[in-house]
Chains A and B, each alone.
Chain A
Amino acid sequence: MSDPRFKALFDPKGVIVAGASSHPAKFGFVTLHNILANGYEGKVFATNREGESVLGIQTVPSVNDLPKGEADLVFVCTPASFNLDLLRECAANGVRAAFLTSAGYGEAGEEGKRMEDELVALAEELGILLCGPNGQGVVSTPSKLCAQIVAPYPPPGRIGIASQSGNFVSSFLNFAVQTGVGVSRAVSAGNAAMTTVPDYLDFYADDPETAVGLAYVEGIRDGRAFFDRVRSVAERKPLVLLKGGASAYGQRAAASHTGALAADDTVFTGMCRQAGITRAATVEEAYEAAATFATQPLPRGNRVVVMTTAGGWGVVTADALAKTSLELTPLPADLQAEIDTKLPPRWSRNNPVDLAAGETRDTIPELLDLITAHPDVDAVIYLGLGIQSNQARMMRRGRYYPDHGLERIVAYHERQDARFAEAAAAASTTYDKPVLTATELAVADPENAGPAAVRASGRLCYASSNRAVTALDHLWRYAQWRGRRGLD
């Protein structure tokens, strides 16, 4: 049972911005702007010493001047020296959670650390969930809440983000905007004086709006407690982790060979495997793994079929699969026989299924369905989406358009690529198997009808087949971790 105060943080009925400013460069302005500009539907209040009007909100000098019980979250932009009194007033007003962007605490030396301890002690006494200080803010798409001092506001989705670095929250949110695979909640833990990254992850693990956790961590104070917490999260939901500072901490001059071999982050890597955590090497790998967990079913096995409209892509994808726990499965004889009836004999007749340009209007949707349906296939990677729409773009922009039959053929190509993307999503949904679509057009021309339709289907269009393979490998490893421990 998760702490009900997280509800106040992520789905507040009303928000107070403490320290609102009329200066558009100040956090107290930006926060209020971001809350108001992104459609938050609860009540919004603001305090300001002069009682100015900011962005149409009539501020008041003190929280005591606000109606009681209408806000349960306070977003604090005031200087540290004001915040003890502020917390007391907020608690008296019915606030249950406080996000502090204020700096000058634990990150600012011994005096700051003392003030931070004082703040935590008071929050505990008042029963307020204290988030930050020195954090960038909180985002929650189910409540259309964008209470942060930075952009962007992501599309809604099912990824729950918690980060020790506010800038990594922004990075992940930027990926959400770019890929269209959206976010449920996002929070920057700041100094994590009271509420830590594992605390947020623990909330996400039971949060029906969230399908997967995505976290960035650097320093870990108590490794054993961290392990216990994140393993408990991974037992409930997939958890993707990006770790900063993965170098030799705590390595003593060891008398043992074992100690000498415990260098770098081998211990952390092993801890992640033991806890069922999906550890990503880079920020994009982390986001794509989370996006895949959020939008594809877990594979039930590791037998992958690659379907491609051109040979080279299939070969490179086969190479990438060979470096993972996934298997480029031999094409089952009955499936090969069925594909024979759909394609001229020059197709590869093996896996990768290379259509060798033998496809006609309905071949790709039919094959995606046929291959995904086969009981000896656990996952499909589809390559070649968007090629015809890429040509269509050139035709549309060329000086001959719309004459010479170009208008008609452009529309046809775009309709076809959209159909192919929809067929991939439909096959995945129908047979409850991962079907991943990869093309560099996802980034080279996001408006291409193929990638655009993948986005519209709610899924990620991978920028390369290697990245699709990496993401699928993460899913299979997690599925195995669950399976071996009898978790289902």
Chain B
Amino acid sequence: MPTLSEAESKRVLAQAGVPVLDERVVATAEAAADAADELGYPVVAKLCGDAIAHKTERGLVRLRLGDRAAVQNAAAELLAAARPEDGDVGVLVAPMVSGNRELIAGLHADEQFGMTIMLGVGGILAEAVKDVTFRLVPIGRVDAEEMLDDLQMQALLGPFRGEAAVDRELLIAVLLGLSKAAQDDPSIVSADVNPLIVTADGAPVAVDALVEVR
């Protein structure tokens, strides 16, 4: 099934209320540098296109770009790395978000129960740790709150290594937004908000998103 580009995925989810980063998609290295000037440094640049699903594996993500020159160089390299099968591509420029905690949220069409929504502990160990919880779409606010309580690693949701406790309201907004997106758009087959980085002030931020449609 086709996937939407990162920017389009985020647009679909943002429309339903999922808080996503303020970010720009541009066509040239010069425009990428201008976008970075507007957003403030450091930024991250990624090659973005409908047919590109696994950016990290292909080295299409550049992190911690600290000035205009770095952005320009990175964007030029990313555009040069595009392959014909990637189709239309652009460079996505976004503020560099960092935090010690990563969560994951998403939508999944279960054969038995239909569309489900998930919240879990993210990061590279996510599939080994499997600290996840599911509900059937649609969910209400109470269901979203209970999903937060379901996670085994509750310590991650509290104050953590000098960082603030997770902003529960924002996290609930992510879940309610995902649920609404699935309800509003029946063509959505799955969605990943991964990683959902928790910043030092506790705000969960959808740094990457991938929506699969039928």
Residues of A with Cβ closer than 8 Å to B?
Answer: 220, 223-224, 227, 249-252, 254-263, 266-271, 273-274, 484-485
Contact = CB atoms under 8 A, between A and B. Distances in A.
Most chain A CB within a 10 A radius of its CB, from B108, B142, B143, B212? B108
Contacts of A258: 104-108, 118, 190-192
A257 B146 contact: no
Nearest to B149: A325
A261 B130 contact: yes
> When A and B form their complex, which 5 residue pairs have the shortest distance between CB atoms, in order from nearest?
A250-B111, A258-B106, A270-B134, A223-B113, A223-B112
B136 interface: yes
B108 to A, nearest CB: 4
Contact of A259 (B108, B114, B136, B143): B108
B120 interface: yes
A484 B134 contact: no
20 contacts: A255-B1, A256-B192, A257-B126, A257-B192, A258-B104, A258-B106, A259-B108, A261-B106, A261-B108, A261-B118, A267-B113, A267-B116, A267-B134, A270-B116, A270-B134, A270-B135, A270-B147, A273-B133, A274-B146, A484-B142
A274 B143 contact: yes
B53 interface: yes
A271 B134 contact: yes
B132 interface: yes
B61 interface: no
Contacts of B212: 255-256
Nearest to A231: B136
Contact of A485 (B116, B142, B194, B210): B142
Interface in B122-137: 126-127, 130, 132-136
Nearest to A486: B142
A261 B113 contact: no
A262 B134 contact: yes
Contacts of A268: 112-113
Contacts of A251: 111
B118 A223 contact: no
A256 B110 contact: no
Nearest to B120: A261
A477 to B, nearest CB: 10
B191 A220 contact: no
Nearest to B110: A267
A249 B210 contact: no
Contact of B210 (A227, A256, A266, A484): A256
A473 to B, nearest CB: 14
B47 to A, nearest CB: 19
A262 B108 contact: yes
B132 A273 contact: no
B76 interface: no
Contacts of B110: 223, 250, 262, 267
Given A257-B127, A270-B133, A274-B139, A223 B108 contact: no
Interface residues of B, number: 37
A361 B70 CA distance: 84
A252 B136 contact: no
Contacts of A259: 108, 190
B95 to A, nearest CB: 23
Nearest to A228: B136
Contacts, number: 102
A38 B1 CA distance: 61
Given A261-B118, A270-B134, A271-B113, 17 more contacts: A254-B108, A255-B3, A255-B190, A256-B106, A256-B190, A257-B104, A257-B192, A258-B190, A261-B126, A261-B132, A267-B112, A267-B113, A267-B116, A268-B112, A273-B146, A274-B139, A485-B142
Nearest to B111: A250
Contacts of B147: 270
A305 B99 CA distance: 41
B106 A223 contact: no
B167 interface: no
B150 interface: yes
Contacts of B150: 270, 273
Contacts of A224: 113-114, 136
Contacts of B116: 262, 267, 270
Contacts of A485: 142
Most chain A CB within a 10 A radius of its CB, from B3, B112, B147, B150? B112
Contacts of B105: 258
B192 to A, nearest CB: 5
Most chain A CB within a 10 A radius of its CB, from B3, B53, B133? B133
A474 to B, nearest CB: 15
A262 B1 CA distance: 18
Contacts of B133: 266, 269-270, 273
A273 B117 CA distance: 13
Nearest to B54: A255
Contact of B112 (A250, A254, A260): A250
Contacts of A261: 104, 106, 108, 118, 120, 126-127, 130, 132
Nearest to B107: A258
A271 B118 CA distance: 11
A146 B133 CA distance: 42
Most chain B CB within a 10 A radius of its CB, from A249, A258, A270, A274? A258
A254 B127 CA distance: 13
Contacts of A256: 106, 108, 190-192, 210, 212
Most chain B CB within a 10 A radius of its CB, from A227, A255, A484? A255
A249 B134 contact: no
B190 A252 contact: no
A485 B126 CA distance: 31
Contacts of B194: 257
A269 B113 CA distance: 12
Contacts of A267: 108, 110, 112-113, 116, 134
Contacts of B3: 255
A271 B108 CA distance: 14
Contacts of A254: 108, 190
B16 to A, nearest CB: 16
A337 to B, nearest CB: 34
Nearest to A249: B112
Interface string B196-214: 0000000000000010100
